[in-house]
Amino acid sequence: MLHDAHDFWPRYLAAVFPRHAQPTARNLRFNQTSLAIDAAISGQGIALASLAFVGDDIAAGRLIQVFDQPLRLDKSFYLVWPRKLQQPESLDVVQHWLRQQAGNS
């Protein structure tokens, strides 16, 4: 298994396999999710990552989704920008697009 700094594997395995012991297979740990994803693409193991990070790799056939069951998290994510008097128009475009995407999920 390929772990990143979030270390969601224990929670995910408990949800998918609630009555089984967790595997003690080889584990690699990375300090960034992108490194775990790159390791999965190169065949070093299975990574647990957000579809937002791996959707293009799945669509391109570089990765496959192993289980259908997603891990639901009670985490929040925020759109942040440096404090300035005026926001650029491009920020408004990104905000609008993100709100549309969130409404479709």
Domain boundaries, the chain: 2-59
pLDDT in tens, 68-103: 877 777 766 666 777 776 777 888 888 888 888 777
- Cα 45–chain centre separation: 15
Q: What are the residues facing 61 on neighbouring strands?
A: none
Q: Taking Cα atoms as reference points, which of 4, 11, 48 lies closest to residue 29?
A: 4
pTM: 0.64
Residue 2 buriedness (CB in 10 A; 0-12 / 13-18 / 19+): buried
Please say if the pLDDT value at position 7 is more than 70: yes
Please say if the pLDDT value at position 44 is more than 60: yes
Q: Nearest 5°: CA angle at 95, between 73 and 105?
A: 40
